[in-house]
Chain A
């Protein structure tokens, strides 16, 4: 199966720096800002973004983690249940500006689940979405506010984000799946 690297370590670093600036640009009150990483890879991405923001503004940004397993719309039909991880939001989210952070935006269902989870936790003033990769093929009317890279892809292709914290290295690859659907 041919695997192509579409973002290198350097590409990822530059992209995250750019997104961090964009977030600051669109959020005046940094003390009301909360970055919430969606498990699994959204979490290290959120932490890196917070570090970046602190790096050029000096402001310490709150970071939370969100598990969406219990909000998925396909739990009944899944053969393998998702491992439930911890949801840990350090503050009351009422009135806050939340930026959800995830690695790949695809059908939009993960984001819908994350929105449902956040709404059960409180009433934020604003929820925005930051993703490293947007690969198209939305099945719900959902869009990201901050996109690292747009990668038009076909459904047979697999886009994988590898991060040092979870996979030992920073790299985004695209692979064509072995079997072709008729």
Chain B
């Protein structure tokens, strides 16, 4: 069917992405397009038959070098709801465990006809490097410390559903920012949408080079109560024990004393402030159970929105191959 000139299309000048590697160069218009498409996808999720044929015939392979339940399931569902053919590569038992290199694995996926590869990898930049070795679209499901763009987009969408306008809102991100790809992608996404970002963490867990004009502008505030003052959005990060080098924090106890988001601290934020967490939640560590399950928490919505956002991205990046 010919696209008649009366039908609005995703203009080439708005959507530039054949891959989704990070949010660094997503424009505000592109993020708004993701919101609009996500809304339509959410409608599909509310139907009795949660399926549309949009990605029929497309082969989607997940390549997770790090364990993950929720993100992988979220992508899997997104793919299935769009009628794509979906396969998981279990790196624990595959030839990867026997030492096959990333490049060789990608070559195999290419030979198997993958159209989209959803990749999670412990090395920052691995998905970016992967784009050089495979023709498929690559969606980054988290690489090292670097980026987790789909998480940030679903966080943004969740905020967008609750707040009329995003510009000028105040967001606080609490936790191990240095090692957090969720924080990095959110910093890019939030600032692009005009939201002011404050980072609240021990100084040893702040990334280096903040203030450089090649990075988004953010405030830093090590005192949690001062940071939360007047906040509209509060994001807590999982304390990444496995990625943290020893010596950066004296103890978990001290972290809880200084940085746990609990009810009395949350009260310093606006009464309609949203509480987000990328999951899985370490209740009692970075967030108290009362807040995690409290009225202001949108943690479960984040999960639901995650499937819709991923459906939207998969839809937007497929199409004729742009080199």
Question: Residues of A at under 8 Å CB distance from B?
Answer: 40-41, 67, 69-88, 103-104, 106-107, 109-110, 113, 116-117, 120-122, 158, 160-161
Contacts and interface: CB of A to CB of B under 8 A. Distances in A.
B5 A86 contact: no
B4 A70 contact: no
Nearest to B37: A84
Most chain A CB within 10 A, of B1, B43, B51, is at B1
Contacts of B11: 80
Given A78-B3, A161-B6, A122 B40 contact: no
Contact of A84 (B48, B58, B315): B315
B318 interface: yes
B10 A75 contact: no
Contacts of B5: 158, 160
Contacts of B245: none
A75 B54 contact: yes
A71 B53 contact: yes
A110 B1 CA distance: 7
A73 B1 contact: yes
B319 interface: yes
A88 B44 CA distance: 10
Contact of A88 (B4, B8, B43, B315): B43
A72 B54 CA distance: 7
B9 interface: yes
B47 A121 contact: yes
Contact of B319 (A81, A106, A158): A81
B315 A40 contact: no
B132 to A, nearest CB: 24
B7 interface: yes
A72 to B, nearest CB: 6
B15 interface: yes
Contacts of B36: 83-85
B12 interface: yes
Contacts of A70: 40, 44, 52-54, 82, 315
A80 B49 contact: no
Given A76-B319, A107-B2, A110-B1, A82 B51 contact: no
B323 interface: no
Nearest to A167: B6
A71 B39 contact: no
B217 to A, nearest CB: 32
A80 B316 CA distance: 10
Contacts of B315: 70, 81, 84
B6 A40 contact: yes
Contacts of A85: 36, 40
Interface of B: 1-12, 15, 33, 36-37, 39-41, 43-44, 47-49, 51-55, 57-58, 82, 312, 315-316, 318-320
Contact of B3 (A71, A82, A120, A121): A82
A76 B57 CA distance: 9
A41 B6 contact: yes
Contacts of A117: 52
Nearest to A81: B10
B56 to A, nearest CB: 8
Nearest to B83: A70
A159 B1 CA distance: 15
Contacts of A69: 54
Nearest to B312: A84
Given A81-B15, A88-B43, A40 B319 contact: no
Contacts of B54: 69-71, 75
A82 B320 contact: no
B322 to A, nearest CB: 8
Contacts of A104: 4
Given A78-B9, A84-B36, A161-B6, 18 more contacts: A70-B44, A70-B82, A71-B52, A75-B318, A76-B58, A77-B320, A81-B315, A81-B316, A82-B3, A82-B10, A83-B10, A83-B33, A84-B40, A85-B36, A86-B40, A106-B2, A116-B53, A121-B49
A76 B9 contact: no
A51 to B, nearest CB: 22
A113 B7 CA distance: 15
A-B interface, 5 closest residue pairs, ranked by CB to CB distance from nearest:
A109-B1, A80-B9, A70-B54, A70-B52, A84-B40
Given A86-B43, A110-B1, A40 B8 contact: yes
A98 to B, nearest CB: 16
Contacts of A81: 9-10, 15, 315-316, 319
20 contacts: A67-B40, A70-B315, A71-B52, A71-B53, A75-B319, A76-B57, A76-B318, A78-B319, A79-B320, A80-B3, A81-B316, A82-B3, A82-B8, A84-B37, A85-B36, A86-B43, A106-B4, A109-B1, A122-B48, A161-B6
